[in-house]
Amino acid sequence: MADTSDTRTPAQIEADIKRRREVLAETLDEIGIRVHPKTIVGDAKAKVVSQVDHTFGKACVQVNKVVSDVKAQFVDDDGSPRMERVVPAALLAAGVVGLIVVGSRRRKR
């Protein structure tokens, strides 16, 4: 059998009880804060904002990559335009704009 005798004085036991009550009160306060609806909503909002920021960051990286790839098609490494690619693209864009203008004028009549 284990020895159940306690060699502490009553004052030491009371001090230990008081200390444990204080620790327990702090723990209960922390739990109360964690389960409070405002805390739960705030944590959920923070998580959503974090996910949106992460997704937005990924999207920005992808857009930047696409823009860089397109730019590489029309600009040399030294920054000068590749006329053999710029001119056909400009003509194509002008043709598309022309078709849109002609189409919108026909609808107005």
Secondary structure of 72-98 in HEC code, one letter for each residue: HHHECCCCCECHHHHHHHHHHHHHHHH
Q: Which of 13-27, 30-44, 75-89 has the lowest mean pLDDT?
A: 75-89
Specify the pLDDT at position 86.
87
Residue recorded with tokens 């306060």? 29
Q: What is the mean pLDDT of residues 3-11?
A: 79
Q: What is the rounded average pLDDT of the residues 90-102?
A: 92
pTM, 2 dp: 0.46
Confidence bin at 5 (pLDDT 50/70/90):
low
Q: 11: number of CA atoms within 13 Å, CB side?
A: 0
Distance of CA 17 to the CA centre of its chain: 46
pLDDT of 1 above 70:
no
